[in-house]
Amino acid sequence: MTSSVHETRGTPFALRTRRGFLGAVALGVGATVLSACGDDSAGAGGDGGGTTDVTFLSIIPVASISMSPELLADTGGHFKRHGLNVKLQVTQGSPPAIQTVLAGSALLTKIGDIETITAISDKNAPLVNLGGVEKQGLLRFMSSKRKPLTKPEDFRGVTMGLPSTGGTSEKTLDLVLASAGIPKDSVKRQVVGLAPGVFELVKSGRIDGYIVSLDTSLSVLAQQPDAVAFAPSSVVSAGVQLYATSKQQSEDPGNQDQFRRFLQAIADSIKFMVDDEKNGFKETMRLIGTKYDVPSFKDQAVAVEALKLFVKSWTVDGPDKIVQTNPQSWQATYDEMVKSQLVAGGKDPSAWLTDKFAPTAA
């Protein structure tokens, strides 16, 4: 590549009315999610020879590169080996996923630390962080060599393009600004969506930068010689993707073994990809491709580079800490969010996570 890369409050969520829950379903959870999340009728699971049905909610399209751990756990047989039949269901964003998990109609979901901490801290949602997966934020802020944005101080006075207002991307921008003491209102914001041609707005000077996913950033870098990418994770702790469930479900003995088996299958899937890196992730992409059409896999160079960065993110705390949350990083993220006035201070975020279902290192 010839491009430059700089990598380095409210109503309780907990038990809302039936109307509120059905409203969340209408937003896109779908009727199929309303089936029992842990139906043991198929057997005891594990080594007993049967399988347990589990509903997992994804807030993004299932056939996405960031869903590789789940997709490989499915197509590579890791879920099956741990006695699970996992139904991957899609919701339209975090709020309906959180509502459905809290209602007990899905066992768990994967959402961001920003959304999780906001829901627990400001909306009293009884969520539990079961373990971090992506432990380094993989959003990227794109700009051009004409006006490169490579450190927080560069963002003062610029116009940033956002996929939407009030979401994770904008909150990540606020955290980056707060890390350098830059007022939020010093940066103009413009909704530009996620269309492939957004970089043209940067080239024309209509915006100075915009926020995209990791794989999109790699595609832009490959196609635009003047593109520059900034990794927010170089200056803030926030950006972790984690598995979450309700406090009630985490305390239900009937669910606890399912959590252990699910997280172990994900850890096994990630370890497979770690080992497959030396082969250019060929077997990983082949297995996933037997069932899922992942758009990012169509450009093998982009897919390999993205998966390398995912591997780094999954294993940043060491191979023995896969699918576990780093307590210090979790505390740092909460502190960052308090500093940037995204949530109220004075709370103990360590009470919002557990490691009792963590996978074994073997």
How much is the pLDDT for 41? 39
pLDDT digits (tens, 9 = 90+) for 214-223: 989 999 999 9
First to last CA, the chain: 38
Report whether pLDDT(197) > 60.
Answer: yes
Residue 162: phi and psi, rounded to 5, are -125, 150
pLDDT digits (tens, 9 = 90+) for 108-124: 999 999 999 999 999 99
How much is the pLDDT for 49? 55
How much is the pLDDT for 92? 86
Q: Which residue has the higher pLDDT, 32 or 113?
A: 113
Q: Do domains 18-136+239-352 and 138-234 have the same CATH topology?
A: yes
How much is the pLDDT for 193? 83
Task: Name the pLDDT band for 59 (thresholds 50, 70, 90).
Answer: very high
Q: Domain 138-234: which topology?
A: D-Maltodextrin-Binding Protein; domain 2 (3.40.190)
Q: Domain 18-136+239-352: which topology?
A: D-Maltodextrin-Binding Protein; domain 2 (3.40.190)
The full set of domain ranges for the chain reads: 18-136+239-352, 138-234
What's the rounded mean pLDDT across residues 36-52?
52
What's the rounded mean pLDDT across residues 187-210?
92
How much is the pLDDT for 194? 78
Q: Which residue has the higher pLDDT, 343 or 35?
A: 343
How much is the pLDDT for 362? 59
Laid out side by side, the sheet with 127-134 consists of 84-90, 52-58, 108-112, 241-246, 127-134
Task: Name the pLDDT band for 4 (thresholds 50, 70, 90).
Answer: very low
